[in-house]
Amino acid sequence: MRTSATIWFEPEGRKIDTEFGVTILEASREAGVYIRSECGGKGICGKCRVIVKEQKYLNDLMDAEKKHLTNYEIGLGYRLACCAVVKGHVVVEVPVESRVGDQRIQILGFEGAVRLSPCVKKIFVRLSKPTLADIKPDVERLLDYLNEIHNLSGLEVDYHVLKSLPAILRKANWDITVSIWNNKEIIAVEEGDTSNVSYGFAVDIGTSKIAGYLVNLTTGQVVSAGFVENPQLVLGEDIISRLNYAMKRKSGLNELQKLAVEGVKSALIDACKEAGVNPNNVYEITLVGNTAMHHFFLAIHPNYLALSPFVPAVKRSLDIKARIFNMGINPHGYIHILPIIAGFVGADAVADVLATGIHETDDLSLLVDIGTNTEIFVGNSEDLLSCSCASGPAFEGMHIKHGMKAITGAIERVNITSDFEVEYVTIGDTKPSGLCGSAMVDAVAAMFKRGLIDNKGRFNWQVETMRLKKEENEAEFVIAWGHETATGKEITVTQKDIREIQLAKAAIYAGCSVIMRRKNVSWKDLDRIFVAGAFGNSINLENAIVLGLIPDVPLEKVKFVGNTALAGAKMALLSEDARREADVISKKVRYLELAADPTFDDEFFKATYIPHADLNRFPSVGSILRDSTGKVFKQS
Amino acid sequence: MRTSATIWFEPEGRKIDTEFGVTILEASREAGVYIRSECGGKGICGKCRVIVKEQKYLNDLMDAEKKHLTNYEIGLGYRLACCAVVKGHVVVEVPVESRVGDQRIQILGFEGAVRLSPCVKKIFVRLSKPTLADIKPDVERLLDYLNEIHNLSGLEVDYHVLKSLPAILRKANWDITVSIWNNKEIIAVEEGDTSNVSYGFAVDIGTSKIAGYLVNLTTGQVVSAGFVENPQLVLGEDIISRLNYAMKRKSGLNELQKLAVEGVKSALIDACKEAGVNPNNVYEITLVGNTAMHHFFLAIHPNYLALSPFVPAVKRSLDIKARIFNMGINPHGYIHILPIIAGFVGADAVADVLATGIHETDDLSLLVDIGTNTEIFVGNSEDLLSCSCASGPAFEGMHIKHGMKAITGAIERVNITSDFEVEYVTIGDTKPSGLCGSAMVDAVAAMFKRGLIDNKGRFNWQVETMRLKKEENEAEFVIAWGHETATGKEITVTQKDIREIQLAKAAIYAGCSVIMRRKNVSWKDLDRIFVAGAFGNSINLENAIVLGLIPDVPLEKVKFVGNTALAGAKMALLSEDARREADVISKKVRYLELAADPTFDDEFFKATYIPHADLNRFPSVGSILRDSTGKVFKQS
């Protein structure tokens, strides 16, 4: 009889084999997945919430769970990890709010497995002391040793490190640890054996947020995460306004750069503090971002990127001394900036491909990284085509009346019952303050399913419910009444909010349609759809299809992969192979300029309908509608 | 019948073929050797003084020459270049004071011929403009072009240059010039075709002086020279006192570095001003200096160099971005620091070997680079042995009562007639202010030949002459009476001055003796003796032998080669091959620690005699003595 089972933790895809009888919380620690628990696993704090959709190999709900979880949450598969005991293979989804580290935001992403071979290697060396009979100079003594013992030839020594070498050698009695970058250059020398004190920082500069992992380079483990709002937000909410800022003001570019660097630095410092790591022991940063962020960070003028023919300054990956940016890590370490693909398909997109591995398989994949700017890829190992579309920040909670980021207090899931009552889940299990992107997807889809809005997104005033009303001439639907919320004010979805969501999802769907037509493939040919970006894995897939955000394919083909941009940056931090792979991706992926495609406008217009003007493209939505109301909505 | 002749210009060894009937001044301009002439070659200013020892292929002296030259000078072979007409092969020596540029000091040195292949190359490129159909990024557009058209692959782009590229490309309408360093990195991009505007600076940081050539890298020609006193002199006159300064004060090393950098910078700025060159068009500096100067310049603590076992920090050549030193040249260019050999045989010594080529020939050579510290080499292409001795600054005019550097107003040649009268030549043809090193060699040798001093350097009071006297208890010999001098005061050689010269020459001769014994060769085995350093070619060879400064070998075996350290630095600036050669020299030359040799003290003591305690080592000096006085001096 079997007594051991495999537990998968999503979205990392990390798995561990464990004995029957352990709790999910215990298994998670063994797997290196860190789930919050303030009571130490006693069922008291209720913080260790996880989602298990298929619960046949778990024990029944315990009282503690019934106390901490709502019925709606229980219906969604929520459990407390400290109460759920394993008795077979289980897939566990760890929601954002239950993660140790930064609980506010989804910064984890699916990533491919890599062989641990970081670009920075630390080696402990014991040198013989010079004598009158052996007057070999210090640098040659060290380099000859590294050549003879470690087969490292042709190494250079950073000038600043070279200056410090003689004193350190003697202070350390000739036992030192050297940090070698890219098998090329000695970037640090330290007294004694510090070979296991080696860290790197992988960071994604998003238009709205900057998120990074602090990674132990000797184990490959993430030790902490850092997250800040992109400080550039004060100079413009979206890329276009920041490009304008850079182009219209003399010091604009320098301001944008300074803010980007400050943002990365503050994410780094947070992560170092949390993990108790000395920033001087961080030797490398791998950095991704869209092409505009890439140019801003590098202080490269984006004039020519913003104007036709939209030419970036540089495509290849770059390695720049950290001290040039006063980056806050070891000054003689490096920043590795991943390569970009084209005008608006940046290093973040290269990292998406790297993390999902869609360039390595024969399967035909569609990859959509949803953000203020959405990047789309279609193809396989033979050929990959990419494009980019401006989808706006609605899915990140911006331009939405009660929108907010997916932080504590944000409603992240919404359901509307057949009698128009509303059920919702709030991040952090607190009183709600607003709606994040995934809640907007749920809300709009649910309103459509319940007939509260028609396929053009207009409110249906024939539905009788107190929740549908006009306030100061603005039509809205109430998600949470004032007495339920943190602010005491109602949280609603307005007519204008619905329009914003329609425009955003239409841009994304139209981008997918055009690129697939160019690639000459149809939805049916797709083997996999990867959805990356802000939503993480908290989006409800069925609702996304109802909304017409993603195409109507069998659910099992769709995989939410979270922040694959950051995951790809982490792979490049841990693996020289992954870094080379990124360079290959950058060169190999073809680029399609959507603006130049004559069919885009028409596709966009048709995609503003819910789910789409052409319902044949969404056969499953028709059936859902019939299930919920008994008849197909009138297509006005 | 022949109508053309070859003119050699020394000490550069530059030669030119010219028609009979041209003046030396005309020929010099064609040869790129720049001789002063304020009157434009009319025989009026008398500045274009040159020395031609063998005058049979020159016209007779003209009246202008008789007017401007003393009989003593005429006897030494002086001519005015504008009056001397060529009618056959002639060897012309251009003295320091007649050189255009810095007339104050001998900065030229013998150098080997090199194939012009500077490390910095400028290439003009015309790129195609991007279009919507060709959106290749700027950097890739440039690098692909350089790869396809110039076969330059794997180039990197300096980050600061990369930042400026997009704007420059468009401003220049896609016609730009790139500067490529070491076939490795683009260090500059400029609008339009500036491919012939490319300069480098070769510099020698001496303990007392810093001298540099500004060189046109497209022609290989020196366009100007810069010279300054080493500003470190304020912190100590010799190496030992500066090492102490660095070791005993916290900020000492930084002060020394700052001064070294300032010195190089000011020599560079002088040279750029003189030649009208924009320092931004200087892309590389090649730098030599003894090991202490090398460490000071690099701000590497010299503690371990100064203390047993005297280990330098680094031996290999280094390439450092100019901006790190704020060097005053193009900030993205490089400083190439030539390799050293050992503790006190530095990059200047490597350059000496490079310039003289003693490592390439089967001939057995002795190379002596005389300075405050004197480096000595013996050997050939099979094996070279080196050592270093502290000879002090006496030959540079320091520690001598009326000593001065070889600048305008310094007496540089001295003769004492049989009736004890004194003839002398002054640099710049002015009233004298003091005695430079070569005058001291002449003076002491002449005093010995005339019996004014004995072989222990003591004054012989039996000689009757007003010039030999005691002033304030100090014994001295008058070289110039008060009415002859610029200051109105007498210029004398004191008993103490003679001791200083004896100690200096003894150190050098003893160093030569010991290293030759170690190499197991005798004076007779030597094919060539190269004398480099401060003296330039202004020293009188016979007198140097009489003094016992250099060994008694046939005169034709001795070659004065001037500042070969700087000449070697220039070769490394002009030729990648020379640079590689320097690296080979650094590795190949063996080092002998004189301090550890038990025979040195005895050799030193014996060498304090004039010419030497063992007169058998100087047979030719015995014969000179007999010629002048009729009998051999009593060897007391």
* ipTM reported for the complex, 2 dp: 0.82
Q: Tens digit of pLDDT for each residue in B83-93? A: 999 998 898 98
- In chain A, the N- to C-terminal Cα span, in Å, equals 60
Judged by CB atoms closer than 8 Å, whether chains meet at A313 and B165 is answered as yes
Which residues of chain B have a CB within 8 Å of the CB of A386?
none
Judged by CB atoms closer than 8 Å, whether chains meet at B162 and A596 is answered as no
Average pLDDT, chain B: 90
Percent of chain A scoring above 90 in pLDDT? 68
Judged by CB atoms closer than 8 Å, whether chains meet at A135 and B313 is answered as no
As a whole number, mean pLDDT of residues B289-318 equals: 94
What's the confidence (pLDDT) of residue B238?
81
- Three-class SS state of B556: helix
How far is residue B135's CA from residue A591's CA, in Å, rounded to a whole number?
A: 10
Q: Tens digit of pLDDT for each residue in A301-320? A: 998 988 888 899 999 999 99
- Three-class SS state of A137: coil
How far is residue A614's CA from residue A607's CA, in Å, rounded to a whole number?
A: 8
Tell whether the model's pLDDT for residue B395 goes beyond 70: yes
How far is residue B368's CA from residue B561's CA, in Å, rounded to a whole number?
A: 10
Q: Are residues B598 and B507 in the same domain?
A: yes
Q: Tens digit of pLDDT for each residue in B42-54? A: 888 888 889 998 8
Judged by CB atoms closer than 8 Å, whether chains meet at B311 and A136 is answered as yes
Asked, for residue A34, whether it belongs to a domain, the answer is yes
Percent of chain B scoring above 90 in pLDDT? 68
With cut-offs at 50, 70 and 90, classify the pLDDT of residue A636: very low
Judged by CB atoms closer than 8 Å, whether chains meet at B137 and A301 is answered as no
CATH of the domain at B62: 3.10.20.30
Asked, for residue A329, whether it belongs to a domain, the answer is yes
Tell whether the model's pLDDT for residue A76 goes beyond 80: yes
Tell whether the model's pLDDT for residue A206 goes beyond 70: yes
Q: Does B591 touch chain A (CB under 8 A)?
A: yes
Residue where a domain stops, chosen among A162, A191, A220: A191
Q: Tens digit of pLDDT for each residue in A404-454? A: 877 778 898 999 999 999 999 988 778 999 999 999 999 999 999 999 999
- In chain B, the N- to C-terminal Cα span, in Å, equals 60
> Which comes out higher in pLDDT, residue A136 or A240?
A136
Q: Are residues A14 and A157 in the same domain?
A: no
The amino acid that residue A400 corresponds to is I
Asked, for residue B231, whether it belongs to a domain, the answer is no
Q: Which domain holds residue A74?
A: 4-94
Q: Are residues A511 and A584 in the same domain?
A: yes
Which residues of chain B have a CB within 8 Å of the CB of A596?
132
Tell whether the model's pLDDT for residue A103 goes beyond 50: no
Q: Are residues B384 and B430 in the same domain?
A: no
Residue where a domain stops, chosen among A286, A312, A347: A347
Q: Are residues A486 and A466 in the same domain?
A: yes
* Angle between the N-to-C axes of helices B437-449 and B495-519, in degrees from 0 to 180, rounded to the nearest 10: 100
How far is residue A549's CA from residue A557's CA, in Å, rounded to a whole number?
A: 15
As a whole number, mean pLDDT of residues B57-70 equals: 91
Number of domains in chain A: 5
Q: Are residues A365 and A402 in the same domain?
A: no
> Strand B384-390 and strand B373-379: pairing?
antiparallel
Which of B131, B141, B142, B163 has the highest number of chain A CBs within 10 A, making it the mutation to test binding with A? B163
With cut-offs at 50, 70 and 90, classify the pLDDT of residue A392: confident
What's the confidence (pLDDT) of residue A394?
87
Tell whether the model's pLDDT for residue A560 goes beyond 60: yes
Q: Does B170 touch chain A (CB under 8 A)?
A: yes
Q: Are residues A181 and A77 in the same domain?
A: no
Contact B611, B513 (CB under 8 A): no
Q: Are residues B513 and B378 in the same domain?
A: yes
Tell whether the model's pLDDT for residue B160 goes beyond 80: yes
Judged by CB atoms closer than 8 Å, whether chains meet at A137 and B313 is answered as yes
Judged by CB atoms closer than 8 Å, whether chains meet at B314 and A139 is answered as yes
Which of A128, A300, A334 has the highest number of chain B CBs within 10 A, making it the mutation to test binding with B? A300
Q: Are residues A524 and A616 in the same domain?
A: yes
Average pLDDT, chain A: 90
Tell whether the model's pLDDT for residue A49 goes beyond 70: yes
What's the confidence (pLDDT) of residue B631?
52
Q: Are residues A227 and A315 in the same domain?
A: yes
Tell whether the model's pLDDT for residue B626 goes beyond 50: yes
CATH of the domain at A183: 3.10.20.880
What's the confidence (pLDDT) of residue A631?
53
Asked, for residue B220, whether it belongs to a domain, the answer is no
**Paired strand residues for A225:** A213
Residue in chain A closest to B138 (alpha carbons) equals A313
Q: Tens digit of pLDDT for each residue in A514-525? A: 999 999 999 999
CATH of the domain at B593: 3.30.420
Judged by CB atoms closer than 8 Å, whether chains meet at A304 and B596 is answered as no
Asked, for residue B565, whether it belongs to a domain, the answer is yes
Q: Quick one: which of B369, B289, B337 has its CA closest to B110? A: B369
Residue in chain B closest to A159 (alpha carbons) equals B320
Which residues of chain B have a CB within 8 Å of the CB of A301?
163, 166-167
Q: Tens digit of pLDDT for each residue in B455-510? A: 999 999 999 999 999 988 889 999 999 999 988 889 999 999 999 999 999 999 99
Q: Are residues A271 and A328 in the same domain?
A: yes
Tell whether the model's pLDDT for residue B315 goes beyond 90: yes
Tell whether the model's pLDDT for residue A535 goes beyond 80: no
Residue where a domain stops, chosen among B76, B94, B112: B94
| Contacts by B587-590, CB closer than 8 A, 24 or more apart | B587/B339, B588/B359, B588/B384, B589/B341, B589/B345, B589/B350, B589/B353, B589/B359, B589/B377, B589/B379, B589/B384, B589/B385, B589/B386, B590/B383, B590/B384, B590/B385, B590/B386
Tell whether the model's pLDDT for residue A393 goes beyond 90: no
> Which comes out higher in pLDDT, residue A236 or B129?
B129
CATH of the domain at B297: 3.30.420.480
Task: Find the range with the poorest average confidence among A332-346, B177-191, B423-437.
Answer: B423-437
Asked, for residue B542, whether it belongs to a domain, the answer is yes
Ordered strands of the B474-480 beta sheet: B468-471, B474-480, B491-494
Tell whether the model's pLDDT for residue A539 goes beyond 90: no
What's the confidence (pLDDT) of residue A104?
38
Percent of chain B scoring above 70 in pLDDT? 94
Asked, for residue A248, whether it belongs to a domain, the answer is yes
Q: Are residues B516 and B584 in the same domain?
A: yes
What's the confidence (pLDDT) of residue B8?
87
Asked, for residue B233, whether it belongs to a domain, the answer is no
Question: Of the segments B9-23, B335-349, B400-414, which one has the largest average pLDDT value?
Answer: B335-349
Task: Find the range with the poorest average confidence among A344-348, A573-577, B592-596.
Answer: B592-596
Tell whether the model's pLDDT for residue A633 goes beyond 70: no
